[in-house]
Amino acid sequence: MGIFDRMCADGHEQLIFCSDPAAGLRALIGIHDTTLGPALGGCRMWNYDDEAAAVLDALRLAAGMTAKSAVSGCSYGGGKAVIWGDPKTDKTEHLFRSFGRFVESLRGRFITGTDVGTTYDDFVWAAQETRWLVALPESYGGSGDSSLITAFGVWKGMRACAEAVWGDPELAGRTVAVQGAGKVGTHLVEHLHSEGCRLIVADIDPQRVQGLVERLGVEAVAPDEIYDVECDIFAPCALGGILNGDTIPRLRCRVVAGSANNQLADLRYADLLHERGILYAPDYVINAGGLIQVVDELEGFNKERAYRKAGAIADALRRIFQVSAEQGITPLAAAEELVRTRIDRLGRQKRIHLTTPREGRR
């Protein structure tokens, strides 16, 4: 499918290519739907196989942010940026300042911050070129690392999943297989460890896993073996597209609940999970904690309030699971209906034109 065909099919408004060879910058900014407000979404840095993979990721991630904002009750649209490069070797001040200038050129139509492969220190550089940033370090006037609250929200959401499946939100004694030990995955493991879970962890970076083995006593498995682990909950906390026709039949769990965006390679795979009796927590619902934090930051950050809102992710999932059960549809279909309803209603909201008299006229 061509770029314009895909944008039309999925309702995207804009895709911006950003190139600065002198800075080594190759980036894309995807803006999906701004019915609810300006596009808000993080900036991912990843060494994509090719241009098509970068484009697809930008578009899918932007669409996910629209859904995440809508279902979380936020007044922002969906957007996402991706920088095509190796986050371990290609980061420079020049690159992020160049990226910041492209963000500034959109004049607030797109607001961004950290994501996979980027940290708030990277955006301290970008902040010299643009004001449209969130989740900067607290010392720079931001709300700090959003991975902490994202992990908190996923943990609370897992408890809602446990309640739906086993009738009890307690996770003590449950086995959780965590795919990905990055920023969010590590914090999630810490929460689950504190509750007494048995934890099995995999990551493409073995040093990350080894650190958790030594510090918390988790069990380690190879990245491709995580799908075959017998567990209560499978938690995807790495990249998207990992739930597909090959991996879903391998799962030996009752719940899929994790922080990764776009976990389903295609939306139809929600049906396959449902048919197998596996409860799926829609990713853009359970991982909305980071969005909740930065929206609160834009309104005047209050940490206690942000965490309280993130804790309500569990309530949102309970409503979705209830609708799913009552209507005999998948949790994803129930969540999608909530998203469509809110966007449609606010999109039809009557607009009242307010005229400001010219200065000096009476």
What residues act catalytically?
80
Q: Which of 183, 331, 357, 207 is nearest to 269 (CA)?
A: 331
Q: At 41, which amino acid appears?
A: G
Burial class (CB in 10 A: 0-12, 13-18, 19+), 279: buried
Q: Are 25 and 95 in contact (CB under 8 A)?
A: yes
DSSP state of 312: T
**Distance between CA atoms of residues 313 and 68, nearest Å:** 11
Kindly tell me the sign of the dihedral angle through the C-alpha atoms of 116, 119, 120, 123.
negative
Q: What are phi and psi of 201, to 5 degrees?
A: -130, 140
| Burial 12-29, CB ≥16 within 10 A → b, else e | bbbbbebebeebebbbbb
Place of tokens 């991975």: 147
CA dist list (Å): 257 to 275, 325, 352: 17, 18, 42
Q: What are phi and psi of 232, to 5 degrees?
A: -85, -40
Could you count the other beta carbons within 10 Å of the beta carbon of residue 303? 15
Place of tokens 């897992």: 158
**Distance between CA atoms of residues 180 and 212, nearest Å:** 12
User: For residue 16, what is the enclosing H or E element?
Assistant: strand 14-20
Q: What is the DSSP string of 67-115?
A: HHHHHTT-S-EEEEEEEES-TTT---HHHHHHHHHHHHHTTTSEEB-B-
Q: What are phi and psi of 67, to 5 degrees?
A: -65, -40
